[in-house]
Amino acid sequence: MLNAPVLTLNSGMVPIHICNVKEAVILQVLNKAEAIKVDEKYTIRSQFLSIPLPRVIMLFNFHKIPKKRVVYSRLNIIYRDDMRCQYCGNRFGMDKLTVDHVIPLSKWVMVPPEKRPENPNSWGNQVCACKTCNARKGNKLLSECGFTLVKKPVEPKYMPYLIITRDKADKYGWLEFLNYNVRIIEAITTDE
């Protein structure tokens, strides 16, 4: 239970972090945070302390919203595309998704520079693709396989600081606090 996640808000009630119960309790004991939402069903007990299990805490002296550079990564490409295959347009669970080079590396030099982004490994040339579409596309160009993109891939200007699945937010009672700085994603579990 001490490892359960606790949503952490800054002093302006903006979600900035997820810590665990243990860390949250320490912050409360040190008077650096207060619990905004608790689960009365459980009590954290020690020799000196008996408090309800925190689910959401607010920091007293932290006003800032940490800035997050939009890091170029496989996962962020999948999140940018909202877990939607950019070829067939369907959404899938993480286990069914890959990141695909729109212009395959093997064909890169065949495409004139004005018709491609400057770098093959970049936001502009990588998209979220389901495993099926990725396999069907193989090393072909879009024009060779008849695929079209759901939307043109670009570098996102902004990415919310926290990415949380709706299931998790629901389970821990966080949803009402997640209006800002958070992207809620629908976790999709696909059956074979």
Q: Decide if residue 169 touches Zn ion (CB under 5 A).
A: no
User: Residue 28 is inside which H or E element, if any?
Assistant: helix 21-29
Does residue 154 sit in helix, strand or coil? coil
- Total of residues contacting Zn ion (CB under 5 A): 5
Scan residues 112-131 and list those touching Zn ion (CB under 5 A).
130
Shortest distance in whole angstroms from residue 100 CB to Zn ion: 9
Residue recorded with tokens 């020690």? 46
Side chain identity at residue 139, one-letter code: N
Q: Decide if residue 62 touches Zn ion (CB under 5 A).
A: no
- Own/partner contacts of 174-180, CB < 8 Å, gap of 24 or more, are 174/7, 174/15, 174/37, 174/55, 174/56, 177/7, 177/9, 177/13, 177/15, 177/36, 177/37, 177/56, 178/7, 178/15, 180/14, 180/15
Q: Decide if residue 88 touches Zn ion (CB under 5 A).
A: yes
Shortest distance in whole angstroms from residue 121 CB to Zn ion: 21
Does residue 182 sit in helix, strand or coil? strand
Among 85, 127, 169, 184, binds Zn ion (CB under 5 A): 85
| Nearer residue to Zn ion within complex by CB, 52 or 93 | 93
Q: Decide if residue 78 touches Zn ion (CB under 5 A).
A: no
Shortest distance in whole angstroms from residue 189 CB to Zn ion: 17
Q: Quick check: 28 and 83 in contact, CB under 8 A?
A: no
Q: Which two tokens stand for residue 145?
A: 């396989």
Among 53, 97, 127, 133, binds Zn ion (CB under 5 A): 133
Pick the piece of the chain touching Zn ion (CB under 5 A) from 25-33, 80-88, 107-115, 116-124: 80-88
Shortest distance in whole angstroms from residue 31 CB to Zn ion: 52
| Residues in contact with Zn ion by the rule CB under 5 A | 85, 87-88, 130, 133
